[in-house]
């Protein structure tokens, strides 16, 4: 068994994410039998002294049947209406199901602002810590009822990866209607299952498809992105089928495992690299990319070739290489209006009051190419 699977099997704190397609079906809404099967697997793992935070999709899907909606709506207002109805049904179903094991459920609804804004991030961290210390099972969902297009996570896979780091989880399990990662669309046949992802090179050339259900927003692409986010911050991840939840939460000997890469990032550096919303872009030459990514140096004005966005000093920006890839993220020390006259100039050429780093090394996080 791989190190990643052993770590997940032995984890004392896990984040488990389940997709809409695993809990609901078009036209009939929430499938309580599927939900009960998931809770059975989670309760069994909880009985072995593991703390679990459950990130659950399904609110919109659960609201379709009560509102006589035949399929997932495309417009935001109807999605929010379905979520407002479905969230109650979903929370009640979880409370009833976990109640069979005398377990208390705490509902946590988040928008991206709750992790993008540093103060909100810390508040969420404290809430989870207290719920877990009291023995409750936090059930998390994106707050679809009030989220707008501008503040949505986009899918609960990314939310689960952010929560995994926020609570300092030992592992992340992503459950859906797909049993593993394949090197092509498994529905087309002739594809190979990928059991282990030890590093980025194992994903080279892969074409990952969407979920077979029309109920969710995140396909395999979002699951792989979430697993990579977790793994790159030091948390092993597992992609598996919800029908294999018992095995995934047991020996973790199903699905596709992603090995943790390197040391776990601090909460601040993880927030900066993966949770904060960038307000603009700084385009770098090759020399600046080498200094920032390989030598972990501060970014100076001389290495910048272009600026884009609407940001102020203290905002987070992406740093982009000549191939248009985001290679780092950091807190910029200048307003966007100040930079055009500085870029490309050496420090000694600048006025004394402007002889400072554009992004200081302490406020900069190199990223894996994406």
Residue-wise pLDDT tens digits, 40-52: 999 999 999 999 9
pLDDT higher at 252 or 69: 252
pLDDT over 50 at 258, yes or no: yes
pLDDT higher at 191 or 340: 340
Is the distance from CB of 177 to CB of 241 less than 8 angstroms?
yes
pLDDT tens digits along 301-312 = 999 999 999 999
Q: What's CA 272's distance to the chain center, in Å?
A: 14
Q: Euclidean distance between the first and final Cα of the chain, in Å?
A: 29
pLDDT of residue 208: 55
Q: What is the dihedral of CA 114, 118, 120, 123, to 10 degrees?
A: 130
Q: Which residues are annotated as a binding site?
A: 17, 57, 144, 156, 176-177, 217-223
pLDDT tens digits along 95-115 = 999 999 999 999 998 876 676
Q: Which CATH architecture has domain 3-269?
A: 3-Layer(aba) Sandwich (3.40)
Q: Which residues are annotated as a binding site for ATP?
A: 17, 176-177, 217-223
Among candidates 184, 120, 117, 141, which has minimal Cα distance to 55? Answer: 141
- What pLDDT band is residue 27 in, cutting at 50, 70 and 90? low
pLDDT higher at 368 or 281: 281
pLDDT over 80 at 274, yes or no: no
pLDDT over 70 at 32, yes or no: yes
Question: Sign (positive/negative) of CA torsion 113, 118, 123, 126?
Answer: positive
Mean of the pLDDT values across residues 356-362?
91
pLDDT higher at 150 or 252: 252
Tell me how far apart the alpha carbons of residues 304 and 247 are, in angstroms, rounded to a whole number: 50
- Find the helix or strand (DSSP H, E) in which 136 lies: none
Is the distance from CB of 114 to CB of 146 less than 8 angstroms?
no
pLDDT of residue 121: 73
pTM for the predicted model, two decimal places: 0.80
Average pLDDT along the chain: 86
pLDDT of residue 28: 67
Residues 6+ apart with CB under 8 A from 47: none
- Find the helix or strand (DSSP H, E) in which 84 lies: helix 76-99
pLDDT higher at 143 or 179: 179
For β-strands 326-331 and 364-366, DSSP reports them as antiparallel
Is the distance from CB of 172 to CB of 237 less than 8 angstroms?
yes
What's the topology of domain 278-366? 2.30.130
What ranges do the domains of the chain cover?
3-269, 278-366
Q: Which residues are annotated as a binding site for substrate?
A: 57, 144, 156
Main-chain phi, psi angles of 177, to 5 degrees = -95, 5
- What pLDDT band is residue 368 in, cutting at 50, 70 and 90? low
pLDDT higher at 241 or 24: 241
Structure-token pair, residue 112: 């991206």
- What pLDDT band is residue 144 in, cutting at 50, 70 and 90? low
Structure-token pair, residue 83: 């979520």
């Amino acid at each position: 068994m791989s190190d990643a699977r052993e770590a997940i099997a032995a984890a004392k704190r896990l984040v488990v994410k389940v997709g809409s397609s695993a809990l609901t079906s078009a036209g009939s809404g929430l499938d309580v039998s599927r939900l009960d099967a998931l809770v059975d697997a989670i309760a069994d793992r909880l009985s072995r002294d593991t703390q679990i935070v459950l990130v659950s999709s399904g609110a919109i899907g659960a609201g379709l049947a009560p509102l006589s909606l035949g399929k997932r709506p495309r417009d935001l207002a109807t999605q929010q209406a379905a979520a407002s109805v479905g969230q109650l049904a979903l929370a009640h179903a979880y409370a009833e199901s976990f109640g069979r094991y005398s377990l208390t459920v705490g509902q946590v609804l988040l928008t991206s602002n709750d992790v993008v804004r540093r103060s909100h991030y810390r508040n969420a961290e404290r809430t989870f810590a207290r719920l877990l210390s009291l023995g409750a099972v936090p059930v998390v969902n994106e707050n679809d009822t009030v989220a707008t297009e501008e503040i949505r996570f986009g899918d609960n896979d990314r939310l689960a990866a952010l929560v995994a780091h926020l609570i300092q989880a030992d592992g992340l399990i992503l459950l859906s209607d797909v049993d593993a990662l394949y090197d092509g669309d498994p529905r087309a046949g002739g594809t190979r299952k990928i059991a282990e992802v030890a590093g980025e090179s194992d994903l080279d050339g892969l074409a990952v498809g969407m979920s077979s259900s029309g109920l969710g927003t995140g396909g395999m692409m979002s699951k792989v992105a979430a697993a990579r986010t977790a793994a790159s911050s030091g948390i092993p991840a597992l992609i598996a089928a919800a029908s294999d939840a018992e095995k995934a939460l047991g020996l973790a000997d199903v699905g596709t495992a992603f090995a943790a890469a390197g040391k776990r990032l601090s909460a601040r550096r993880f927030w900066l690299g993966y949770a904060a919303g960038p307000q603009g872009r700084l385009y770098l030459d090759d020399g600046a990319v080498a200094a920032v990514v390989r030598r972990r140096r501060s970014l100076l004005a001389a290495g910048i070739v272009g600026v884009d966005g609407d940001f102020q000093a203290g905002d987070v920006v992406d740093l982009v290489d000549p191939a248009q890839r985001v290679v780092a993220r950091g807190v910029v020390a200048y307003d966007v209006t100040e930079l055009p006259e500085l870029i490309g100039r050496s420090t000694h050429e600048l006025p004394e009051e402007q002889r400072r780093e554009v992004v200081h090394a302490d406020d900069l996080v190199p990223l894996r190419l994406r």
